Amino acid sequence: MPKKIRLGILGGGGDSLIGVLHRVAAFINDNYEITGAVFNPKFEDSLAFAQEIDIPTNRIYKDFDTLVEEEMKLPKEERIQVCSILTPNFLHFPMAKKLLDNGFHVICEKPMTTTYDEAKILQGALKKAGTVFAVTHTYTGYPMARQMREMIKQGALGKIHKVDAQYYQGWINPIIHDPEKRKTTWRLNPEKAGISSCMGDIGVHAFNMVEYTTGLKVKKVLCDFNYLYDDNQMDVDGTALIRMGDHIKGVIRASQVATAEENGLAIAIYGDKAGLRWEQENPNFLYVLKEGEPMQVFKPGHPYNSKLSLDGTKLPPGHPEGIFDAMANIYLGVAKAIRGEKYNDGEFPTMLDGVRGLNFIQSTVDSHKKGNVWIDMD
Amino acid sequence: MPKKIRLGILGGGGDSLIGVLHRVAAFINDNYEITGAVFNPKFEDSLAFAQEIDIPTNRIYKDFDTLVEEEMKLPKEERIQVCSILTPNFLHFPMAKKLLDNGFHVICEKPMTTTYDEAKILQGALKKAGTVFAVTHTYTGYPMARQMREMIKQGALGKIHKVDAQYYQGWINPIIHDPEKRKTTWRLNPEKAGISSCMGDIGVHAFNMVEYTTGLKVKKVLCDFNYLYDDNQMDVDGTALIRMGDHIKGVIRASQVATAEENGLAIAIYGDKAGLRWEQENPNFLYVLKEGEPMQVFKPGHPYNSKLSLDGTKLPPGHPEGIFDAMANIYLGVAKAIRGEKYNDGEFPTMLDGVRGLNFIQSTVDSHKKGNVWIDMD
Amino acid sequence: MPKKIRLGILGGGGDSLIGVLHRVAAFINDNYEITGAVFNPKFEDSLAFAQEIDIPTNRIYKDFDTLVEEEMKLPKEERIQVCSILTPNFLHFPMAKKLLDNGFHVICEKPMTTTYDEAKILQGALKKAGTVFAVTHTYTGYPMARQMREMIKQGALGKIHKVDAQYYQGWINPIIHDPEKRKTTWRLNPEKAGISSCMGDIGVHAFNMVEYTTGLKVKKVLCDFNYLYDDNQMDVDGTALIRMGDHIKGVIRASQVATAEENGLAIAIYGDKAGLRWEQENPNFLYVLKEGEPMQVFKPGHPYNSKLSLDGTKLPPGHPEGIFDAMANIYLGVAKAIRGEKYNDGEFPTMLDGVRGLNFIQSTVDSHKKGNVWIDMD
Amino acid sequence: MPKKIRLGILGGGGDSLIGVLHRVAAFINDNYEITGAVFNPKFEDSLAFAQEIDIPTNRIYKDFDTLVEEEMKLPKEERIQVCSILTPNFLHFPMAKKLLDNGFHVICEKPMTTTYDEAKILQGALKKAGTVFAVTHTYTGYPMARQMREMIKQGALGKIHKVDAQYYQGWINPIIHDPEKRKTTWRLNPEKAGISSCMGDIGVHAFNMVEYTTGLKVKKVLCDFNYLYDDNQMDVDGTALIRMGDHIKGVIRASQVATAEENGLAIAIYGDKAGLRWEQENPNFLYVLKEGEPMQVFKPGHPYNSKLSLDGTKLPPGHPEGIFDAMANIYLGVAKAIRGEKYNDGEFPTMLDGVRGLNFIQSTVDSHKKGNVWIDMD
């Protein structure tokens, strides 16, 4: 195994959950070492956090610009190779842009940017940079999500004609009904959260799973949002009709007011030969529905799975994988790409997934605002 | 217990599955006796079938008109009281109309009529007749579907803001991809099946469950159908966005090409206090999602259930109820109504359910044809 | 179809749940008519009940002996052909014995007798009578229980080496902890309930499923009972180790104090090629575990099922069967046997099942009393 | 946060799965750094592996004795504090013994020793050493397993009267039926695997879960093993009746020939107030059965859970935990103990769990060999 990849971390300090998730994911397959970081807005917090997690403090920087500046002074073989961007959403774009412009690889939390325009600019920057860029649509890292993609690619479903994806949460329910709270929650403030709450935060994951697993593109979107009070018109719920090609239709359903639902991402795909169903909260069970045959339940780690799926399984069947493992699989794919090793198509979500996601969010907002009309995606 | 109710049967002879279902349902609670019938188009078949199931043949009639004519000659205390209409769809309307006009009670298979106009005419006829009229939206007979309705009525969900209903089957999949079969299957022939295949046959059940359980009315519909081949434009799949009032939105999803799905009717309803989920293929499990509490699983027969639910449970908890029991519960409700006994609101689906169903089917077709625009329901 | 079979009913009047279950089961396939009965101990109650369910009262008898006496006077082609015994347990034996001695067919509720000795006497009586005798181990009537039996018979599991059956209920829990109630509940009174409560009532069902599905016989039993209070030593819980032949072992677990469990009968069988799992509360799902392959989920009504299973399914896949349907399937098998028609092996549980059941109950009691030693079954 | 704990690793090099599991678990909560190791029997392999996972090689030792010798020369504040023993089973005892005798903390893979006698010796050594000792019964690290323990401790079940634990795997099935393979598999060779295969490897986990969750001790065991061929008498299946006190009984079922089962550890516990059910392959769902109430489904991360459970959850509800997270929770508990911080009772399995486990294995073997008699546990 080659030397560990030098990883920079932006954000994710203190009690940040996303910070833990990325650090563990980076660790799991022994590919990364944290070389530098700006964990927190305040320098002293960053330093303290570095000490807390026992990372050398010499390359903890006071801010992002300093990090880039100082690292660029280092010889290439010492310099941070890849940065993980875990900051608030509005910082994703400027950070990613500057990193790309300076030749870094990037792992960017979702949403990649806050607008579709920024996403397209970033896409151009990546083209020039020629580095590796990953967006952490974490759920694509589950072995069974990967198995869906591979089975469809191998033709197990035949011609696809129907897609149905759901992402139901209930967490905003106790907030939205409280006039004070719904004013102050950042997720419901367009200036902080971007143009959409529900579609932008979770609907986009369901959308990504649809394109990731089917290998098809959504071509048209017609969307209806729901907001529960006129004094806050950010969507907390929405349904998007989608068209993916000739006679291929479907629906993407997302909600933050599906009361007491936790993290109900689910997808069902049907073709002329077979169907597939998968749910994020039971991620190790993939239901395969074949015309005229008993339903099958695929599980991770069995030789009957595809290489892409098996590469993301560490332990024998029956040892449950979780969300940390899913993210670790994405970091593994990125590591292979950075090292120029061969990796599986689909091993990590790319710039294209990021751009498509912003295109989708923009399209749903446009559709809703224009009175629930069809919007062509690019 | 009063004497058994005199039941006439129209259709349902020979190997008819719907025939078995209704006869068993009528029998289960000891309320009905089959007094007369036109089981089959051919008189000799009707007679043979009557003998086969050991029913006196003296009031087996050669056709529907004769049945009405002859029964009307009998004194009221001997005459058939209620007729179950199990014939092909296009006969439902004329039969129901004539029965009402002659003062009979009616149990009508679904769809009540083939057009919305007919449904409204029938509604008028019932108003004049003042008899009991039930449409067999069978799934409302399940104890846990009834429990949903009662919990919502009692306020367990608070103010409802989100509804999601699904009815996924795959049975047309092997037909639709075969150019010959898709020409010859009656369900895909608008002359025989009416204006819609998927929404008309199963989407309407999902719609009915939405209104049955919530006690709310769908006000607007925007629908997109899918047909897989241009040479047959009957919908085999469709998704309808719905609006049920101020900030109450939802979606109804139906498919006959959800490959290898069997009879996947499912409903989820969310309010500001709690949510409910239920699936027809596991009908004895009702999932209750309360804000901040562990999910609960309600099952039939427990005293914690509502009266409407308990009235539809015959055996102690843990003895699975099936579809026959659901239909039997509807027959039980009709029997109470015919006898003038007190019955629970919601104990059987009424003319209004039938009219609403046709209104919904018409609205989805209109929405699709006009380019997926919002259609106001009446 | 030949004329309906003349059915006599013993017990099951009034609000009796077992009465409803048998009447519906007898009705469902159009094979039986209730010709005579002693529904209740008091004659006037029997008459009233007959009127309530609208059955002619002329052959409602004042007691069982009268029923036999009077029916025997009738010509054979008018006489009751088969009697269903639904009375308290201690009456099963004398009634069944007399019915057999007079040449009647018998459908007997479970337990067939209260002692093993009685069971063997009955077996002798049947040999002489040469009539049809069924014991209503109802759960064998489920299409998926039947499918297990057929798959094993066809060799799908290879050589069986492990069996595990469970029947967990919790209903006695609120009784057993109340000193008064545990004295007065008939089920816990050996004079009324026989030598065992838990094994006698439900363990025996699990045992029956083991032998029914595997086609093998239990040869040895080692059992430990649990009673929770010394003042009532009837078993409310017990576990039996079993041996079914050379290197074929297993366990039967039963409890009436598995708090808040409803009717948790479940069975798992493993052979060198595959395994099977089934649960009574989700009776329409059969889990097939094949070495090295994804698990399969079999459901009723599909052509991939065996004839025995399909003969017990009335509606298309996705329409849940329940306990009434399971009992109806047993009545259907009995009807075929009475009429001398060809029927499937396993279509109804026979005298042999009854005898084996009593042998098992006696063996578990003996094993427990002798200090948990191995008891050979006959 | 204090400095990281200096961790030594014994075994677990190369492709070892248990190695990955422990390294990730040690990393997840930022408490440990790997300071020294003997990863492999061959020194050069150990060195290579250290380089592969990018750990300084200066304290990679040629063998275990050298590690102890050299580390003891270091000042205490530099010395390895705790060693994780991941070697083949027969090395656990001598390594653990020597480590304790030299004052190290120990994390020992399961089984702690190969004999009960060794276990007791180790217990004595720990008493002298006064250090922290953990045995990795990993499944106790799941948040919902911990929740069971706490609910029972808080009295949610009332007085326990029934326990049922299962551990079913099928992995030996394809081996056991092959005369060559069953001779050569180390797990079936008593010289390498100890006195028991099935009970020793997995039955003991089920036993541990019983004692861990209930807080009660098994007092007596009666066990029947199954081996499928006379030429290899190691148990591949077994059932143990257990007694845990006055009128508290239960059963522990384990199998390695439950064909195509993966890792089917499951436990059910019933008391006079309520019952609990949990399955390892769906570890984030805990079923709570309360007398007369709907079943509840507890999930990790909700405030309704106990502190012990919540301390082992990192992400919000709906983000599945897996086996790595369970092991990480155990490492977290050990870290607290090593640092002298307050930790929850039950936060990691201790020497006592190890001793009890060996006592159980020995007792099952004794019971089987003596003809399935009751054996008193110490």
| Complex ipTM value | 0.95
d(CA D18, CA D11): 9
Best of C175, C178, C259 to substitute, by most chain D Cβ atoms within 10 angstroms, is: C259
Q: Determine, for residues C294 and A293 on separate chains, whether the beta-carbon distance falls below 8 Å.
A: no
**All chains having 3 or more CB pairs closer than 8 angstroms to chain C:** A, B, D
Best of A159, A160, A161, A291 to substitute, by most chain B Cβ atoms within 10 angstroms, is: A161
Mean pLDDT of chain B: 96
> What chain C residue is nearest to D235 in terms of C-alpha separation?
C247
The radius of gyration computed from the CA coordinates of chain D, to the nearest angstrom, equals: 21
Note the pLDDT of residue C194.
87
DSSP letters spanning A123-187: HHHHHHH---EEE--GGGGSHHHHHHHHHHHTTTT-SEEEEEEEEE--TTHHHHTSTTHHHH-GG
Best of C277, C287, C291, C296 to substitute, by most chain A Cβ atoms within 10 angstroms, is: C296
CA distance A250 to chain C (A): 23
Q: Determine, for residues B296 and D295 on separate chains, whether the beta-carbon distance falls below 8 Å.
A: yes
Note the pLDDT of residue C193.
84
Note the pLDDT of residue A254.
98
User: Which pair of tokens denotes residue A3?
Assistant: 């030397």
Q: Residue B24's closest CA among B140, B112, B138, B169? A: B138
Calculate mean pLDDT across residues D333-362.
97
> Cβ(C350)–Cβ(C334) under 8 Å?
no
> What chain D residue is nearest to A138 in terms of C-alpha separation?
D319
Q: pTM value?
A: 0.97
CA distance D256 to chain C (A): 10
Side-chain-facing half-sphere of B188: CA atoms under 13 Å: 27
CA distance B358 to chain A (A): 23
> What chain B residue is nearest to A242 in terms of C-alpha separation?
B224
Note the pLDDT of residue D30.
87
> Cβ(B375)–Cβ(B116) under 8 Å?
no
Enumerate the residues of chain C whose CB falls inside 8 A of the CB of residue D170. 270, 275, 289, 291
pLDDT at A53 > cutoff 80:
yes
C253 touches D at CB < 8 Å = yes
CA distance D244 to chain C (A): 12
The radius of gyration computed from the CA coordinates of chain A, to the nearest angstrom, equals: 21
For residue C42, which amino acid is it? K
CA distances, D175 to each of D82, D171, D286 (Å): 37, 8, 34
Please count the residues of chain C.
378
> Cβ(B353)–Cβ(B212) under 8 Å?
yes
Q: Determine, for residues B30 and C53 on separate chains, whether the beta-carbon distance falls below 8 Å.
A: yes
SS3 for chain D is CCCCEEEEEECCCCCCHHHHHHHHHHHHCCCEEEEEEECCCCHHHHHHHHHHCCCCHHHECCCHHHHHHHHHHCCCCCCCCEEEECCCHHHHHHHHHHHHHCCCEEEECCCCCCCHHHHHHHHHHHHHHCCCEEECCHHHHCHHHHHHHHHHHCCCCCCEEEEEEEEECCCCHHHHCCCCHHHHCHHHCHHHHCCCCHHHHHHHHHHHHHHHHHCCCCCEEEEEEECCECCECCCCEEEEEEEEECCEEEEEEEECCCCCCCCEEEEEEEECCEEEEEECCCCCCEEEEECCCCEEEECCCCCCCCHHHHCCCCCCCCCCCCHHHHHHHHHHHHHHHHCCCCCCCCCCCEHHHHHHHHHHHHHHHHHHHCCCCCEECC
Provide the chain C residues 116-145 that lie in CB contact (below 8 A) with chain B: none
* Strand blocks (E) in chain B: 5-10, 32-38, 82-85, 105-108, 133-135, 160-168, 220-226, 237-245, 248-255, 264-271, 274-279, 286-290, 295-298, 375-376
- 3-class state of residue B156 by DSSP: coil
Note the pLDDT of residue D60.
98
- 3-class state of residue B226 by DSSP: strand
> Cβ(B200)–Cβ(B345) under 8 Å?
no
Q: Determine, for residues C169 and B318 on separate chains, whether the beta-carbon distance falls below 8 Å.
A: yes
Best of A242, A259, A270 to substitute, by most chain B Cβ atoms within 10 angstroms, is: A259
Q: Determine, for residues C21 and B315 on separate chains, whether the beta-carbon distance falls below 8 Å.
A: yes
**H helix runs in chain C, sequence order:** 17-28, 43-52, 64-73, 92-101, 116-129, 143-153, 173-176, 181-184, 190-193, 198, 204-214, 307-310, 323-338, 351-369
pLDDT tens digit sequence for A58-92:
999 999 999 999 999 999 999 999 999 999 999 99
Provide the chain A residues 359-378 that lie in CB contact (below 8 A) with chain B: 372, 374
Backbone CA torsion sign across A17, A20, A23, A29: negative
Q: Determine, for residues D54 and A21 on separate chains, whether the beta-carbon distance falls below 8 Å.
A: no
User: Which pair of tokens denotes residue B329?
Assistant: 């519960």
Note the pLDDT of residue A245.
92
Paired sense of beta strands A286-290 and A274-279, if any? antiparallel
pLDDT at D1 > cutoff 70:
no
Which of B24, B318, B322 lies nearest to residue C262, judging by beta carbons? B318
Provide the chain B residues 282-341 that lie in CB contact (below 8 A) with chain D: 288, 292-299, 302-304
d(CA C374, CA D372): 9
Which of B20, B318, B322 lies nearest to residue C263, judging by beta carbons? B318
Q: Determine, for residues C288 and A294 on separate chains, whether the beta-carbon distance falls below 8 Å.
A: yes
pLDDT at A1 > cutoff 60:
no
Enumerate the residues of chain D whose CB falls inside 8 A of the CB of residue C268. 168, 258
**All chains having 3 or more CB pairs closer than 8 angstroms to chain D:** A, B, C
D235 touches C at CB < 8 Å = no
Note the pLDDT of residue B191.
85
Q: Residue B165's closest CA among B195, B140, B188? A: B140
Calculate mean pLDDT across residues A125-151.
98
> What chain D residue is nearest to C273 in terms of C-alpha separation?
D259
Best of C168, C171, C173, C281 to substitute, by most chain D Cβ atoms within 10 angstroms, is: C173
Q: Determine, for residues C323 and B320 on separate chains, whether the beta-carbon distance falls below 8 Å.
A: yes
Which of B292, B294, B303 lies nearest to residue D298, judging by beta carbons? B294
pLDDT tens digit sequence for C161-195:
999 999 999 999 999 999 999 999 988 998 888 89
d(CA A170, CA A263): 8
Note the pLDDT of residue B32.
95
**pLDDT band of A54, cuts 50, 70, 90:** confident
d(CA B104, CA D359): 78
- DSSP secondary structure code for residue B188 in this structure: G
Which of A157, A226, A253 lies nearest to residue B247, judging by beta carbons? A226
Best of B15, B23, B30 to substitute, by most chain C Cβ atoms within 10 angstroms, is: B30
Q: Determine, for residues C304 and A297 on separate chains, whether the beta-carbon distance falls below 8 Å.
A: no
CA distances, D204 to each of B259, B295, D10, D196, D265 (Å): 44, 32, 23, 10, 11
Q: Determine, for residues D325 and A322 on separate chains, whether the beta-carbon distance falls below 8 Å.
A: yes
d(CA D304, CA B292): 8
Q: Determine, for residues D291 and C161 on separate chains, whether the beta-carbon distance falls below 8 Å.
A: no
Q: Spell out, as residue ranges, where chain B has pLDDT lower than 70.
A: 1-2
Percentage of residues in chain D with pLDDT exceeding 90? 94
> What chain D residue is nearest to B293 in terms of C-alpha separation?
D304
D15 touches A at CB < 8 Å = no
Domains in chain D: ranges and CATH: 5-139 (3.40.50.720), 142-313+350-369 (3.30.360.10)
Q: Residue D37's closest CA among D24, D23, D27, D17? A: D23
Q: Determine, for residues C296 and A299 on separate chains, whether the beta-carbon distance falls below 8 Å.
A: no
Note the pLDDT of residue C191.
85
Calculate mean pLDDT across residues C346-367.
98
d(CA D326, CA D312): 8
Q: Determine, for residues B227 and A241 on separate chains, whether the beta-carbon distance falls below 8 Å.
A: no
